[in-house]
A and B are shown apart, each in its own frame.
Chain A
């Protein structure tokens, strides 16, 4: 029987005795000229804004407004990037707030979501499917729909203009996602591991903690990165619930740069680049698990 019981993260290791080498993927020759042109066109369209932002961030202010645009022959400078981190920078506190809010909300969603997912995966719960659907349905709604009720609630609770309030909202939004994604990972992990640990002398929860948890770490990391990216990028709640410039998160702070009489485009571009960097790094670190997470359940064992 070729049933594999390795958890997702360890799938590469296989089970000795049943290990068959993966089929050798034939190296595809480069596609036809037409395909190449099409792909190049797509790449230009996709990458142009990113490259333009990067260039703007590195150009001297007078080169930004140069007509015709200086694509290569501009005077490079790190002035704008320095401004982002300077003491009188209007966006630096935004980055600090974003780090706090994204980290805190991700931790809360993970700490609450992983045990919940474990319970949904392992125990017979009345109306389990309905409950899970209800949990998922909270994510169907665009944030804009609930932002006004949330605003009113927060006003009465005194949570407007506070980072705690934002942490709460983001955690609530990340929780359903965490439960669903973690449930997938836990379903993949045979219950026998826990049962074996229970017979070996541990209680149910100790068995979960000592045996299941270590095996779930890749899954938890992938899920946490998704939650982190959502909280980091979130804009709507941030702009509605926070008006105090000192409590704004980065997306709102960057948006706040645009709208004055003179717009410092160099600073906008540099802030945007700094803002995009953490997400890119995290996504790169867990790229293997991101794909595993997205395609989870697509292949039946």
Chain B
């Protein structure tokens, strides 16, 4: 296992599109590091540069203590799991698992032993003699993981490995993946566009947009204090409410007389955008401190109910316990509760204050 450093990475394709712009990442030994972003943000290109499948235009990639720029993928001692698994369809599961070891010309006894070990860990023993085409999506996924594990590489690269599974299986595989990563204590770079997956898996999350890093931090840090408006919109479901507000005496006031606690160090009269999580708003029948509004939609999810309330400050997502019962079209009040939310400068779209 080893750490992975990405230094000032830039990737420009021959047609002129810049996929990655000046990216710096330090991934620690044994870390599960998630690259998160919408499609086309450069996260997969970054991963392919680390793998050696793309050549960086400039910058440097270090795996362990070795600068790998210019080395072939096979010389980098890393393993990758692809979105479509890329299991060799003409080989049995056993041969698929043994493939990297045979490539390294390991003795047959060792190959058998390592294959058996991986198969046991991923519960693949019953399928060893089948072809990948005869396996279900989840089983194929486990074979892909096993093929990556079998060689004990310096690092794992995962390119949206769970995207092609159905929702239920995805949650199972997520848990399994986390378990395997912990057990092997392996360095893993995990690319995804699914923020739930990123939150559930990552030790740290890097949010990317347009080839740049928007924010880097631990999951809860990213959730509580998104560094930019982009990150604020991307993380959380339903997304954060972004409310235009003005700093008045001691707090923030938005249209419709919605008052929000103000962070320290704000100047009276500053105009900001406050990022308020749906769980920090409450709906009540009527509230003198709240903004008046009308319930436009109501999603009862069982363990919670999501209300969308139309107020003068815009459409607000509110997360309420299932005990709250408001009907659609009902006139209600929305109030902010809890500590001061992160606020953003409308011009720079970055965190303001403090």
Complex-state Cα separation, A192 to B147, whole angstroms: 14
- Chain A interface residue bracket vs B: 20 to 34
Q: Min CB distance, A211 to chain B, in Å? A: 6
Q: Min CB distance, A27 to chain B, in Å? A: 29
**Cβ–Cβ < 8 Å partners of B14 in chain A:** 124
Q: Chain A CB within 10 Å — which of B14, B72, B84 has the most?
A: B84
Binds B, one of A9-17, A178-186, A234-242, A260-268: A9-17
**Cβ–Cβ < 8 Å partners of A3 in chain B:** 84
Instruction: Assess whether B239 is interfacial by the CB under 8 Å rule.
Output: no
Q: Are A193 and B74 interface neighbours, CB within 8 A?
A: no
Within 8 A of A (CB), among B109-163: 131, 133-140, 147, 151, 163
Q: Are B133 and A195 interface neighbours, CB within 8 A?
A: no
Which listed residue (A17, A193, A204) contacts B138, Cβ 8 A?
Answer: A17
With both beta carbons as reference points, the residue of chain A lying nearest to B130 in the complex is identified as: A16
Q: Are A200 and B74 interface neighbours, CB within 8 A?
A: yes
Which listed residue (A1, A10, A124, A201) contacts B104, Cβ 8 A?
Answer: A201
Instruction: Assess whether A76 is interfacial by the CB under 8 Å rule.
Output: no
Instruction: Assess whether B73 is interfacial by the CB under 8 Å rule.
Output: yes
- Contacts known (A16-B134, A190-B84, A196-B80); A203 close to B74, Cβ less than 8 A: yes
**Cβ–Cβ < 8 Å partners of B139 in chain A:** 16-17
A-B pairs under 8 A by CB, number? 89
Q: Are A13 and B104 interface neighbours, CB within 8 A?
A: no
Q: Chain B CB within 10 Å — which of A1, A7, A202 has the most?
A: A202
Q: Are B88 and A16 interface neighbours, CB within 8 A?
A: no
Instruction: Assess whether A150 is interfacial by the CB under 8 Å rule.
Output: no
Complex-state Cα separation, A202 to B51, whole angstroms: 13
**Cβ–Cβ < 8 Å partners of B104 in chain A:** 201
With both beta carbons as reference points, the residue of chain A lying nearest to B75 in the complex is identified as: A201
Instruction: Assess whether A199 is interfacial by the CB under 8 Å rule.
Output: yes
Which listed residue (B51, B80, B82, B133) contacts A16, Cβ 8 A?
Answer: B133
Which listed residue (A6, A16, A124, A199) contacts B73, Cβ 8 A?
Answer: A199
Which listed residue (B52, B89, B164) contacts A7, Cβ 8 A?
Answer: B89
Complex-state Cα separation, A1 to B164, whole angstroms: 6
Q: Are B136 and A192 interface neighbours, CB within 8 A?
A: no
Instruction: Assess whether A283 is interfacial by the CB under 8 Å rule.
Output: no
Complex-state Cα separation, A27 to B172, whole angstroms: 43
Within 8 A of A (CB), among B62-105: 72-74, 78-80, 82, 84, 86, 88-90, 99-100, 103-104
Q: Are B89 and A195 interface neighbours, CB within 8 A?
A: no
Complex-state Cα separation, A46 to B74, whole angstroms: 58
Complex-state Cα separation, A3 to B51, whole angstroms: 24
Q: Min CB distance, A199 to chain B, in Å? A: 5
With both beta carbons as reference points, the residue of chain B lying nearest to A3 in the complex is identified as: B84
Complex-state Cα separation, A190 to B138, whole angstroms: 20
Instruction: Assess whether A198 is interfacial by the CB under 8 Å rule.
Output: yes
Instruction: Assess whether B53 is interfacial by the CB under 8 Å rule.
Output: yes
**Cβ–Cβ < 8 Å partners of A23 in chain B:** none
Which listed residue (B78, B90, B147, B163) contacts A214, Cβ 8 A?
Answer: B90
Complex-state Cα separation, A14 to B133, whole angstroms: 6
With both beta carbons as reference points, the residue of chain A lying nearest to B100 in the complex is identified as: A200
**Cβ–Cβ < 8 Å partners of B52 in chain A:** 198-199
Bits for A1-42, please: 1 = Cβ < 8 Å to B, else 0: 101011100100111111000000000000000000000000
Q: Are A10 and B74 interface neighbours, CB within 8 A?
A: no
Complex-state Cα separation, A241 to B139, whole angstroms: 60
Which listed residue (A7, A14, A201, A214) contacts B103, Cβ 8 A?
Answer: A201
Q: Chain B CB within 10 Å — which of A196, A198, A215 has the most?
A: A196
Complex-state Cα separation, A192 to B131, whole angstroms: 18
Which listed residue (A14, A15, A196, A202) contacts B86, Cβ 8 A?
Answer: A196
Q: Chain B CB within 10 Å — which of A192, A201, A202 has the most?
A: A201
Complex-state Cα separation, A201 to B73, whole angstroms: 7
Instruction: Assess whether A221 is interfacial by the CB under 8 Å rule.
Output: no
Complex-state Cα separation, A201 to B136, whole angstroms: 27
**Cβ–Cβ < 8 Å partners of A14 in chain B:** 133
Complex-state Cα separation, A6 to B84, whole angstroms: 11
Q: Are A215 and B89 interface neighbours, CB within 8 A?
A: yes
Complex-state Cα separation, A215 to B132, whole angstroms: 14
- Contacts known (A124-B14, A192-B86); A15 close to B133, Cβ less than 8 A: yes
User: Can you give 22 A-B contacts (C-beta < 8 A)?
Assistant: A3-B84, A5-B84, A7-B89, A10-B89, A13-B131, A16-B139, A17-B137, A190-B86, A192-B86, A195-B86, A196-B82, A196-B86, A198-B52, A199-B78, A201-B104, A201-B151, A202-B74, A202-B103, A203-B72, A203-B74, A211-B88, A214-B90
Supply 10 further A-B pairs (C-beta < 8 A) apart from A15-B140, A203-B72: A16-B136, A124-B14, A190-B86, A193-B86, A198-B73, A198-B74, A199-B51, A199-B73, A200-B99, A200-B147
7 smallest A-B Cβ distances: which pairs? A201-B103, A192-B86, A17-B137, A200-B100, A17-B136, A196-B86, A13-B133
